[in-house]
Amino acid sequence: MAPVREDPAGRRCFSNGHAPTGCKDAQVTALLNWAAFEQTLTDALTTAVRSVITTHRDEQFYAAALAGIYREQNALIALPTLGLNSIQALSKHPVEDQPDLRWSVLDWEHVDDDWLPDARSWEQALTAEACRDTTAHWESTFQRYLMLLVRVCQAVRRRSQDLLILVLDDEHHELLIRDTLTPSDVRRYFPELDVRAAEAAQVAALPGDTRAAYYVSRLDSFDSEEAESALRRLGPAAVPALVEMLAVSQQAWQAAKLLGEIGQADDSVVRALDAALTRCSGPDQAWIASALSFLGRLDLVFSKRNQLPHDVVVTAICAPYTSFRNYTLAPRPLDYRPLEEVFEHHPGYAAALAEELAPGRGHCDLSPAEAAEANRALTSSHPAVRRHAALCLEALHR
């Protein structure tokens, strides 16, 4: 799968330059027929797998996998690539490389992006279904899609006897393997998962600060998203370890992001972020500025605005109103007044703010209690504020 990164405004983009089909390009009037989708995928996968095996009778295939599932939150959900690999193909590589290549589908000898007939229509229908409501609906649709792929692989495996057929995805690696395969298959083909499960049980028994240090050490590893989730769940217990991480160049951004999501705005956190703001640069600096804003200390960013890049200040101003807010444990109540004050007293930022808050750039989800503030903002003298509030209210009332 192409690596996915988030910018401080909470938007997701693929780092390989892939230009996805967004929701606006996927206007499909009929709702997705999930049963027909599942049956179509099952039949097409059966046909594609049998075709490869029949064409290459001299090879002993050990697995087929669906992988490379591109997605962009609130936009594209793509269909997976199909890969098959044989023992003979794997043996062409040096022995020391084989463990990594065994499950690296895009490095397999037989890879097919066109295994599903009428793939674009199904992709458009799936994306349109995901995008027809809130971010939460997009997430639940994507999870339903993954479970559908699990069932498809299980059904095709029953038709293909001994061939292992599974779904592989970096973000949901262990979950999909355990859902697709039997426990005995997991022990045989992915023994490292049981080792990790035992390790996780040991970590869970540790004191909170020790657990936090462990998960911080995993932020730059294969299971970094799992580590991020664990740190968010730890909440205040994770704060000291994350504050220390602000001193690490090219990792400070992740610490700042998590501090903002945990939402503890005590003096130690604010002082550490403020001290790091002008010491850092690039993504580190942008996330630190955004975290300060999200914790209600945009004043500290503005006090140093002459030392900061223009886009860093703009991103910080907008942070409380973007989808970054949707990942926090307890977001601060919606308040458009700080944004309106910037429009009124610092007009030099107005054009960039309007662009950053434009439709399609990722807006925050509201709770019902925040509807009153959004309704008040509908009467704001600033068009960008009115437009943003209207988008949020529209999503809330869907």
Ranges 30-39, 196-205, 296-305: which has the least confidence: 196-205
Q: Is the pLDDT of residue 168 over 80?
A: yes
> The pTM is what?
0.60
Do residues 264 and 231 make contact, with C-beta atoms less than 8 angstroms apart?
no
pLDDT at 207 over 80: no
Residue range 305-316: mean pLDDT, rounded: 96
pLDDT at 24: 44
Q: In this predicted structure, what is the pLDDT of residue 221?
A: 67
Query: In this model, does residue 4 exceed pLDDT 50?
Result: no
Reply yes or no on whether the pLDDT at 295 is more than 90: yes
Q: Tell me, what's the pLDDT at 395?
A: 84
Give me the percent of the chain exceeding a pLDDT of 70.
Answer: 90
Phi then psi for residue 71, to 5 deg, are: -160, 155
Q: What is the CA 119 to chain-centroid distance, rounded?
A: 23
Q: Residue 222: what pLDDT?
A: 54
pLDDT, average across residues 321-337: 88
* Four-residue CA torsion sign, 201, 207, 208, 212: negative
150 — pLDDT class (breaks 50, 70, 90): very high
What would the mean pLDDT of 204-213 be, rounded to a whole number? 78
Residue 201 has pLDDT above 80, yes or no: no
Q: Pick left, alpha or beta for residue 10 (phi over 0 → left; psi -120 to 50 → alpha; otherwise beta).
A: left
pLDDT at 192: 82
* Average pLDDT of every residue of the chain: 87
pLDDT at 215: 87
State residue 18's pLDDT score.
34
Confidence of residue 329 (pLDDT cuts 50, 70, 90): confident
SS (H, E, C) 251-307: CHHHHHHHHHHHCCCCHHHHHHHHHHHCCCCHHHHHHHHHHHHHCCCHHHHHHCHHH
**Confidence check: pLDDT of 80 > 80:** yes
pLDDT band with cut points at 50, 70 and 90 for residue 197: low
Answer yes or no: is pLDDT of 97 > 60: yes
Residue 16, pLDDT > 70, answer: no
Tell me the mean pLDDT in the region 72-88.
Answer: 94
12 band by pLDDT with thresholds 50, 70 and 90: very low
> pLDDT-based confidence at 287, cuts 50/70/90?
very high
Q: How confident is the model at residue 21 (pLDDT cuts 50, 70, 90)?
A: very low
Where are the chain's structural domains? 4-199, 206-298
Is 393 a residue whose pLDDT tops 80? yes
Handedness of CA 41, 44, 47, 49 (dihedral sign): negative
